[in-house]
A and B are shown apart, each in its own frame.
Chain A
């Protein structure tokens, strides 16, 4: 078992959640509520990482953030940091490819909240902020939980984008998925097996949590509002 790789993967997953949860919540709520014409385009962009081959996504990220790109040069000259082949690069890639996994379930949850509940809250004197915390977020919670689990597990397992953006530097960019690939390449099948089994267990747990979130936690949903 490559504990270093597992730790790195967990750190990456938590950091991704930390960045993506607030921004994903905001974007999902905006997409659920807006009547803007830009909505369709933004939704398409949000879904893009889902359909794009990971290596293609990784390639474009590498090209746009690498040392020779304008952004990469600016980061290096102004902030003194590099954006590829390190943990930061990994994190940027992870955030980008997880956008659909975070935004879509939350957006669906916000969309399923009956609009008159929001109106009832507003007429009851609650500010937009209070309505969000006391009405919208509790009702969208199954979707939020689902999004958190999906994003977390997806980050642990992502291979292509991570390899393109981070390479395979032990302790810096070698995640558990890359470590599995590494072990197989070295014919250490029992090592690969242990780590694969761990990811399998994580994935099954994620599905269970998702199901519980969307099913058993769903007295909040519209379907059960009127018995």
Chain B
């Protein structure tokens, strides 16, 4: 009973792309504000009628504009948790959860669902205004799940609760997930939340689905520069793709990084998707960067080969404390004028201070090059 969504519209706003979500899988739609995440979710719920779309769950088709098929939201059996919960203010918690149900068992089932989401029995008769944000959210989740929906949709459900409540609710969602065997789609602008909760990310910008995949896979190989920016890859640089290396082993090529005398030619993986001579963006994920002894890596020479570590002398610019980890900003001393960001934990950072000169090792096998252009066109050119 997988969820398949393909959408293409220009009005009232641009919305294009497709994604899938398997039963029991949680997919997070991520992207900046106005990326169309919520609109896509509304399209799935049937609260918005797209110009051109096909939306199906298993064998049931909810929307197929080519066939003129449109199933109204009432008949879709979707569980939707709204951003501000949208609980009925004139009903108590129990009645809110019983709202989608019919028949004599409705209150019993609602009570059971509220027990599962951990709402205390003494709160069942309270109206939303008398409940805390976290409790309201539990009621909203219970209402979405009580009808055993075919798809569970969550529209930024954690944005209105404080950090402590959020952690508890993450745990609740993780626990509930074990029993929910339907596709789940989460809209969030919080990347950490998406990585923590979701099996896969669907990266969106300006209404277009740019990439779907596991968070680590997207991080290792973002489809284009826009995706790299959206998933927060700090170490993104510009360069020119020189093309495959005829003398070297298959699957590698030359990337020119920087201009003039300071330029470096790096040997990196070549997937054969980019024309030689084209300007490119390239990224190296955090796991491809580490501080090392001076002798451990190849020095930064004009032609760093083969495909291994590149040593770069760097100076520590700033050290920022981010809770359990430290964020280091490093400036290259030789080669292209570039700065890197790396994360370190306590023991590694203790001997360091601003102004200190270190050796940064970059694992060239983890360098990923991609086209600079964004949008739907980039999808076709790289996949």
Report which A residues bind B (CB closer than 8 A).
Answer: 114, 116-117, 119-127, 134-135, 138-139, 219-222, 224-227
A123 contacts B73, CB within 8 Å?
yes
Is residue B375 contacting chain A, with contact meaning CB distance below 8 A? no
B-side interface residues toward A, CB under 8 Å? 45-47, 72-78, 80, 82, 84, 86-90, 99-100, 127-130, 143, 147
* Contact among A127, A225, A226 for B74, CB-based, below 8 A: A127
Q: Which residues of A contact B80 (CB under 8 A)?
A: 120, 123
Q: Which residue of A lies closest to B76 (CB)?
A: A123
Name the residue of chain B whose CB is nearest to the CB of A118. Answer: B86
Query: In the bound complex, what is the Cα–Cα distance between A139 and B45 (angstroms)?
Result: 24
B312 to chain A, nearest CB (A): 52
Q: In the complex, which residues of chain B have a beta carbon less than 8 angstroms from the beta carbon of A224? A: 89, 129
Provide 5 A-B residue pairs closer than 8 Å at the C-beta atoms, listed in order of the A residue. A120-B87, A121-B99, A124-B143, A125-B147, A138-B90
Give Cα distance in the complex from A221 to B74, angstroms.
Answer: 25
Known contacts A122-B72, A125-B147; 12 additional CB pairs below 8 A are A120-B88, A123-B46, A125-B75, A135-B88, A138-B90, A219-B90, A219-B129, A221-B89, A224-B129, A225-B129, A226-B84, A227-B130
Taking the closest CB of chain B, its distance from the CB of A34, in whole angstroms, is 18
**In the complex the two chains form, what is the Cα distance from A126 to B75 in whole Å?**
9
**Are A125 and B74 in contact, with the CB atoms below 8 A?**
yes
- State the CA gap A127–B99 with chains docked (Å): 12
Task: Check if B86 sits within 8 Å of A114, measured CB to CB.
Answer: yes
Cβ-defined contact, A124 with B129, below 8 A: no
Instruction: Collect the chain A residues with CB atoms within 8 Å of residue B84's CB.
Output: 116, 226
Q: Which residues of A contact B78 (CB under 8 A)?
A: 123
With a cutoff of 8 Å between Cβ atoms, the chain A residues found around residue B75 in the complex are 125
Least CB distance, A51 to chain B, in whole angstroms? 35
A118 → chain B, closest Cβ, in Å? Answer: 9
Residues of B within 8 A of A121 (CB): 88, 99
Closest 5 CB pairs of A and B: A124-B100, A120-B86, A116-B86, A123-B80, A225-B89
**Cβ-defined contact, A122 with B86, below 8 A:** no
CB pair B77–A225 under 8 Å, yes or no, is no
Contact A139–B82 (Cβ < 8 Å): no
- A121 CA to B76 CA, complexed, in Å: 13
Q: Report the bound CA distance from A185 to B88 in whole Å.
A: 56
State the CA gap A199–B257 with chains docked (Å).
89
Known contacts A124-B99, A125-B147: A117-B88 contact under CB 8 Å: yes
When A123-B78, A226-B84 are in contact, do A139 and B73 touch as well, CB less than 8 Å? no
In the complex, the chain A residue whose C-beta lies closest to that of B136 is A226
Looking at A117, A124, A222, the one whose CB has the most chain B CB atoms below 10 A away is A124
